[in-house]
């Protein structure tokens, strides 16, 4: 019984976080474009996310006649499960981690690739040429960006010595200088040598995570101006809400992974000041939201990459840089 | 070697231009929004704004210029001539009104807001106002009827006109009959014969072969 | 990266052809996709029937006519030449002043009317402001096609200032009925010149900001360079005009080469594409030509504002427009290209025939030629770079 409650806590968090992020996205987007977003539902539009969710929930559930019904209905849930499963190994605070397995990071990479399966199912089952386009592009994109993600995780693991994310977070306790992005708690010479490589690795992880969640500049699967809505075209109502929720959950997931591995997880940047289990949650969510804000900021600034340029970036730019970083970090750690 | 240089240059350009773009959008986060929250706040329109039409029917002389100028034929005007004994008054610009206007309809749904009807009006009675909130639920409410003549007035005016025309027609017929009778009386034997042309032609038979004109006379 | 120019022709499947791979018979077929009249990215109701092989385009067939509103037939039934002007506005609703200017020029030439100088200067100012407004829409929507949503809103913010200037002068924001045959409908209000000067000083840094945000962004450059290349000879053969032609390297601008109004009094340069980021005549060139044309328009406006003479703007408006029987073709340079009006008069007050040669219609005809071998993502950009307005294409 306790296990059910224990494992349901992240979904409570995800629901609350989705509402906040929906609001933040539209407000940040609006103010970057010199305009106001919703102002009439609630004070300055604060009730708008509720209104959006209500609208999606009460829509008519249409499935086109020629669609593959079983796959069509299953696809959103597969995508959500792929995302939510990975939440089980994220340490929200020093006292809470869904499942304290020793293979945390590896498990995340493995489970989050279920999302690809879900998207392919959704695109194929819609029986719509535009959806198939979106699904194929998305599959190619996500598969190719798993490699840089896995390699950055490898680098972080090399520095911290454990795949268990809770251990990694504990490793970075003690202040901002101990964060892996600044070299980790190492002797000074090693740290200084490591810093350029860890900074580059963190940047690459951020870029790869943008591609994992299908956000601009990598949002070709849902390129609104080309494919209407990509693989989402035929979905409406509750199923679309599921896809949407899964996308936002995925945003936080990749931010959480980046935070746990590189930015200290739930550890306070001031060392022992403002640390503790409750403060840990605050720091973790705060850092995660900063990264989510960064994702939103980038989305509203940059144009979209074409699918072959996307592949080029992944295979010919990110991966070689990461190989260089792996070698360098390995050598520096051995010194 | 230049391919390698190109490769690194691409990466550097990508990162630097992205950073510049992000700086611009970040700065715009702190620029106050330019949205005007209509309908709580309404912007003031300039004085020449061209929106809904308005007709001051008291000034209308029924000249039909606006209706002819309209490119989409949205103005429909019907007039009834007034008899000389009726006094319709003058407009505020000094024109004397000579026509009743029983029908002055503008279908504002057809109007294209070009303003071509405003310029030809001699009394400046049709103007474009700055009203832009005039939606209706029923499409037929968008046909604006500007005439203020009641059905009785219209009937009276039509009757008067008919009577006046009949009188005028009768008078004309009587005058024509009288003229025919008088000309017939003035020339009792005026039967057109072959020699008639000489007597009926008062024109002089051309200048005489100038036998009387002596060179010395000129 | 797949470059359109280096694509081997054998990659493109002919209909019904069976491509084999590694000796086994493998039947591949092409897909016909419809980018229908309602689509977030075709600029108006344009239907593109695309024949694709995977993501590579084999053929594009545009279907137009969804916005045909019989401009030319209406023009024959108006009671006078003046009444045709609101219809001319509505053809290209984004650049209405230029449409009116072209028609007024045609009829004035037929009637041999000389308009006062002040009228010419006002017309030039209005036409150039309209060019800026139209190009702002073009580059803004081009950004959206590429995925950048923010520059569009910055462009529209700037356009608001121009529309405010227009509203102050003639009362309307989009469809003006301002440039009349023989003059203009209203004289400039007293505060116009100062506000217009303010706009010019405000606008120049905004162009730079737009360029920083979008034009020189590496992602955008990589999307647009070498895509949809329109070679010089193809452009001339297809009768392209305007920024499409100039971006392909042809230095031809009607304002300088076939001067009308008072354009030959101002100092400015037509912008030509040089292939800075790719090949000459690709979509990036068209984009940068439009951006630079906006700068040149600001130059013209500033010079015109400084030198505008006083006078009566309605002095030459004829009471009765009745040209003698004959025909004329008059062309002007709109933001989209060469707009021509072919007017035939039979000596009465109604035109016998008004044919509008719309630049967007002719520019659109080159779309299949330049998009063979591109990808679908590129097709959206190519269609956006042609800068069509369906009202003008369909008339």
Answer yes or no: is pLDDT of A143 > 70.
yes
Least confident of A64-68, B25-29, C11-15: C11-15
Interface test with B, best of A27, A30, A32 (most B CBs within 10 A): A32
* ipTM, 2 dp: 0.86
* Closest alpha carbon within chain A to C379: A226
Alpha-carbon gap: B137 to the closest alpha carbon of chain C (Å): 25
The secondary structure element, H or E, covering residue C327 is strand C326-334
Q: Rounded distance, CA A3 to CA A14, Å?
A: 18
Q: Quote the pLDDT of residue B212.
A: 44
* Contact (CB<8Å) A32/C150: yes
Q: Which one-letter DSSP state was computed for residue A267?
A: -
**pLDDT tens readout for residues C177-223:** 899 888 898 889 989 999 999 999 999 999 999 999 999 998 899 88
* Closest alpha carbon within chain C to A216: C147
C140 interfacial to chain A (CB closer than 8 Å): no
Q: A231 to each of A120, A309, C245, how far by Cα in Å? A: 8, 20, 38
More confident call, A215 vs C106:
C106
More confident call, C264 vs B88:
C264
**Tokens of residue B192, six digits:** 């057109």
C157 interfacial to chain B (CB closer than 8 Å): yes
What are the structural domains of chain B?
53-153 (3.30.70.3270)
Interface test with A, best of C151, C228, C377 (most A CBs within 10 A): C377
Task: Choose among C37, C93, C98, C383: nearest CA to C244.
Answer: C383
* Closest alpha carbon within chain A to B15: A203
Answer yes or no: is pLDDT of A17 > 80.
yes
Least confident of A265-274, B13-22, B182-191, C61-70: B182-191
Least confident of B46-55, B82-91, B158-167, C198-207: B82-91
Query: Is-contact A298 A217, C-beta < 8 A?
Result: yes
3-state secondary structure of A61: coil
Rounded to the nearest 10 degrees, the angle between the axes of helix A277-299 and helix B2-28 is 110
Is residue C317 reached through a cis peptide bond, with omega within 30 degrees of 0 on the bond before it?
no
Q: Quote the pLDDT of residue A126.
A: 79
Q: B161 to each of A215, B83, B86, B87, B173, how far by Cα in Å? A: 78, 6, 10, 14, 18
Q: Which one-letter DSSP state was computed for residue C66?
A: T
Q: Quote the pLDDT of residue B157.
A: 84
* Contact (CB<8Å) C218/B48: no
The secondary structure element, H or E, covering residue C329 is strand C326-334
Where are chain A's structural domains? 66-334
Backbone angles phi, psi at A70, to 5 degrees: -65, -50
Within 8 A of B69 by CB-CB distance, chain C residues are: 79, 82-83
**Tokens of residue A324, six digits:** 């260089």
Dihedral of the CA atoms A300, A302, A308, A314 (nearest 10)?
Answer: -90
C339 interfacial to chain B (CB closer than 8 Å): no
For residue B218, count CB atoms less than 10 angstroms from its CB and return exposed for 0-12, middle for 13-18, buried for 19 or more.
exposed
Q: Quote the pLDDT of residue B179.
A: 82
Give the per-residue SS3 of chain B: CHHHHHHHHHHHHHHHHHHHHHHHHHHHCCCCCCCCCCCCCCCCCCCCCCCCEEECHHHCCCCCHHHHHCCCCCEEEEEEECCCCCCCCECCCCCECCEEEEEEEEECCCCCCCCCCCCCCCCCCEEECCCCCCCCCCHHHHEEECCCCCHHHHHHHHHHHHHHHHHHHHHHHHHHHHHHHHHHHHCCCCCCCCCHHHHHCCCCCCCCCCCCCCCCCC
Which of C78, C87, C218 is opposite residue B13, by nearest beta carbon? C218
The 10 Å Cβ neighbour count of residue A294 is 14
Residue whose token pair is 């031809």: C252
Which of A219, A223, A303 is opposite residue C143, by nearest beta carbon? A303
As a whole number, the mean pLDDT across chain A is 85
Q: Which residues have CB under 8 Å from A56's CB, separation 6+?
A: A237, A238, A240, A241, A244
Least confident of A95-99, B203-207, C357-361, C365-369: B203-207
Q: Which residues have CB under 8 Å from A111's CB, separation 6+?
A: A82, A85, A86
Answer yes or no: is pLDDT of B215 > 90.
no
- Taking phi first (over 0 means left), then psi (-120 to 50 degrees means alpha), and beta for anything else, what does residue A223 get? beta
Is residue C19 reached through a cis peptide bond, with omega within 30 degrees of 0 on the bond before it?
no
Backbone angles phi, psi at A254, to 5 degrees: -70, -35
pLDDT band for position A323 (cuts 50, 70, 90): very high
Within 8 A of A36 by CB-CB distance, chain B residues are: 33, 35, 37
Question: A-C interface: how many C-beta pairs under 8 angstroms?
Answer: 79
The stretch B18-41 carries a mean pLDDT of 88
Q: Rounded distance, CA C358 to CA C239, Å?
A: 11
The DSSP result for C156-210, as a single string, is HHHHHHHHHHHHHHHS-SS----EETTEESSPPPTTHHHHHHHHHHHHHHHHHHH
Alpha-carbon gap: C35 to the closest alpha carbon of chain B (Å): 31
Where are chain C's structural domains? 9-63, 71-394
The secondary structure element, H or E, covering residue A116 is helix A114-125
Q: Rounded distance, CA B41 to CA A13, Å?
A: 39
Give strand ranges (E) for C17-77: 19-21, 24-26, 31-35, 47-53, 56-63
Query: Is-contact C395 C356, C-beta < 8 A?
Result: yes
Which of A220, A303, A308 is opposite residue C217, by nearest beta carbon? A303
More confident call, C50 vs B215:
C50
**pLDDT tens readout for residues A187-208:** 888 888 888 899 999 999 999 9
C24-26 and C31-35 strand pairing: unpaired
Q: Quote the pLDDT of residue C121.
A: 92
Answer yes or no: is pLDDT of A225 > 50.
no
Q: Quote the pLDDT of residue A23.
A: 92
Q: Quote the pLDDT of residue B197.
A: 45
Interface test with C, best of B8, B34, B45, B46 (most C CBs within 10 A): B46
Answer yes or no: is pLDDT of A267 > 80.
yes
The stretch A213-220 carries a mean pLDDT of 79
3-state secondary structure of A149: helix
Q: B172 to each of A188, B81, B217, how far by Cα in Å? A: 123, 19, 54
As a whole number, the mean pLDDT across chain C is 86
pLDDT band for position B207 (cuts 50, 70, 90): very low
Answer yes or no: is pLDDT of B153 > 60.
yes
Q: Quote the pLDDT of residue B210.
A: 44
More confident call, B110 vs C6:
B110
Answer yes or no: is pLDDT of A331 > 70.
yes
Q: Quote the pLDDT of residue C132.
A: 94
- Chosen CATH of C71-394 out of 1.10.645.10, 3.20.80.10, 3.40.1010.10, 1.10.3720.10: 1.10.645.10
* B-contacting chains (≥3 CB pairs under 8 Å): A, C
Q: Quote the pLDDT of residue B209.
A: 46
**Tokens of residue C74, six digits:** 């209406």
Task: Work out the percent of chain B whose per-residue pLDDT is above 90.
Answer: 5
Backbone angles phi, psi at C58, to 5 degrees: -100, -40
Task: Work out the percent of chain A whose per-residue pLDDT is above 70.
Answer: 96
Query: Is-contact A215 A251, C-beta < 8 A?
Result: yes
Low pLDDT (below 50) residues in chain C: 1-2, 4, 7, 22-24
Q: Quote the pLDDT of residue B204.
A: 47
């Amino acid at each position: 019984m306790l296990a059910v409650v224990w494992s349901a806590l992240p979904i409570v968090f995800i629901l609350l976080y989705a509402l906040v992020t929906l609001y933040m996205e539209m407000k940040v987007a609006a103010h970057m474009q010199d305009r106001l977003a919703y102002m009439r539902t609630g004070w300055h539009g604060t009730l708008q996310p509720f209104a959006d969710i209500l609208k999606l929930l009460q829509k008519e559930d249409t499935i086109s006649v020629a669609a593959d019904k079983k796959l069509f209905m299953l696809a959103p849930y597969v995508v959500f499960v792929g995302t939510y499963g990975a939440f089980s190994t994220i340490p929200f605070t020093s006292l809470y981690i869904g499942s304290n397995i020793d293979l945390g990071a590896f498990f995340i990479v493995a489970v989050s690739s279920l999302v690809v399966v879900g998207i392919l199912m959704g695109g194929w089952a819609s029986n719509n040429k535009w959806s198939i386009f979106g699904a194929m592009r998305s599959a190619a994109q996500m598969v190719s960006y798993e490699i840089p993600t896995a390699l950055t995780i490898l680098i972080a693991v090399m520095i911290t010595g454990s795949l268990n994310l809770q251990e990694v977070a504990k490793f970075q306790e003690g202040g901002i200088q101990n964060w892996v992005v600044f070299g980790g708690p190492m002797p000074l010479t090693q740290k200084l040598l490591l810093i350029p490589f860890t900074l580059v690795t963190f940047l690459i992880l951020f870029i790869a995570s943008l591609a994992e969640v299908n956000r601009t500049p990598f949002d070709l699967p849902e390129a609104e101006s080309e494919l209407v809505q990509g693989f989402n075209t035929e979905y409406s109502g509750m199923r679309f809400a599921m896809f949407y929720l899964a996308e936002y959950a995925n945003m936080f997931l990749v931010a959480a992974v980046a935070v746990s591995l590189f930015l200290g997880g739930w550890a306070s940047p001031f060392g022992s000041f403002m640390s503790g289990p409750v403060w840990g949650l605050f720091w973790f969510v705060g850092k995660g939201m900063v990264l989510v804000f960064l994702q939103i900021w980038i989305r509203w600034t940059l144009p979209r990459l074409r699918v072959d340029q996307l592949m080029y970036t992944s295979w010919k730019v990110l991966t070689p840089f990461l190989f260089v970083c792996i070698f360098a970090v390995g050598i520096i750690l051995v010194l | 070697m230049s391919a390698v240089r190109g490769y690194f240059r691409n990466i550097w350009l990508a990162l630097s231009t992205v950073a510049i773009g992000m700086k611009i959008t970040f700065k715009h986060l702190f620029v106050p929004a330019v949205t005007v929250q209509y309908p709580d706040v309404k912007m003031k329109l300039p004085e020449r704004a061209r929106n809904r039409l308005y007709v001051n029917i008291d000034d209308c002389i029924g000249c039909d210029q606006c209706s002819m100028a309209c490119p989409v034929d949205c103005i429909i005007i019907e007039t009834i001539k007034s008899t000389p004994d009726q006094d319709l008054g003058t407009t505020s610009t000094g024109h004397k009104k000579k026509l009743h206007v029983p029908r002055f309809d503008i279908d504002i749904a057809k109007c294209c807001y070009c303003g071509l009807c405003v310029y030809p009006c001699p009394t400046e009675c049709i103007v474009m106002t700055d009203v832009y909130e005039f939606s209706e639920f029923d499409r037929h409410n968008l046909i604006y009827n500007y005439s203020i003549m009641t059905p009785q007035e219209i009937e009276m005016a039509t009757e008067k006109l008919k009577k006046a025309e009949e009188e005028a027609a009768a008078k004309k017929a009587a005058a024509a009959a009288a003229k025919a009778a008088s000309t017939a009386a003035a020339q009792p034997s005026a039967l057109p014969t072959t020699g008639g042309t000489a007597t009926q032609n008062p024109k002089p038979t051309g200048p005489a072969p100038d036998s009387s004109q002596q060179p010395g006379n000129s | 990266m797949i470059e359109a120019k280096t694509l081997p022709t054998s990659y493109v499947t002919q209909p019904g052809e069976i491509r084999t791979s590694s000796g086994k018979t493998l039947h591949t077929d092409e897909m016909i996709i419809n980018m229908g009249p309602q689509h977030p990215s075709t600029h108006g109701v344009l239907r593109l029937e695309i024949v694709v092989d995977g993501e590579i385009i084999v053929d594009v067939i545009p279907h137009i006519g969804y916005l045909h509103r019989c401009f030319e037939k209406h023009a024959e039934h108006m009671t006078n030449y003046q009444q045709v002007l609101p219809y001319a506005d509505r053809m290209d609703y984004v650049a209405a002043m230029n449409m009116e200017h072209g028609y007024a020029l045609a009829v004035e030439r037929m009637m041999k009317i000389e308009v006062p100088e002040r009228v010419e200067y006002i017309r030039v100012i209005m036409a150039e402001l309209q060019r800026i407004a139209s190009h702002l829409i073009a580059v803004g929507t081009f950004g959206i096609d590429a995925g950048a949503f923010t520059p569009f809103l910055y462009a529209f913010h700037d356009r608001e200032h121009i529309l405010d200037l227009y509203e102050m002068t003639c009362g309307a924001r989009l469809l003006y009925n301002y440039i009349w045959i023989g003059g203009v409908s209203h004289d400039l209000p007293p505060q116009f010149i100062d506000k217009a000067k303010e706009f010019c000083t405000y606008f120049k840094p905004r162009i730079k900001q737009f360029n920083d945000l979008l034009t020189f962004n590496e992602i955008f450059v990589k999307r647009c360079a070498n895509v949809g290349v329109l070679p010089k000879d193809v452009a001339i053969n297809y009768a392209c005009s305007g920024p499409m032609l100039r971006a392909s390297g042809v230095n031809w601008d009607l304002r300088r080469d076939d001067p009308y109004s008072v354009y030959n009094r101002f100092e400015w340069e037509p912008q030509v594409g040089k292939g800075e980021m790719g090949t000459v005549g690709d979509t990036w060139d068209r984009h940068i030509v439009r951006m630079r044309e906006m700068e040149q328009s600001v130059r013209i406006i500033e010079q015109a504002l400084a030198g505008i003479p006083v006078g009566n703007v309605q002095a030459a408006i004829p009471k009765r427009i009745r040209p003698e029987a004959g025909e004329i073709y008059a062309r002007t340079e709109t933001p989209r290209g060469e707009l021509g009006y072919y007017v035939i008069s039979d000596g009465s007050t109604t035109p016998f025939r008004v044919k509008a040669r719309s630049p967007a219609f002719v520019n659109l005809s080159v779309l299949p030629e330049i998009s063979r071998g591109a990808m679908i993502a590129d097709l959206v950009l190519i269609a956006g770079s042609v800068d069509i307005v369906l009202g003008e294409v369909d008339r």
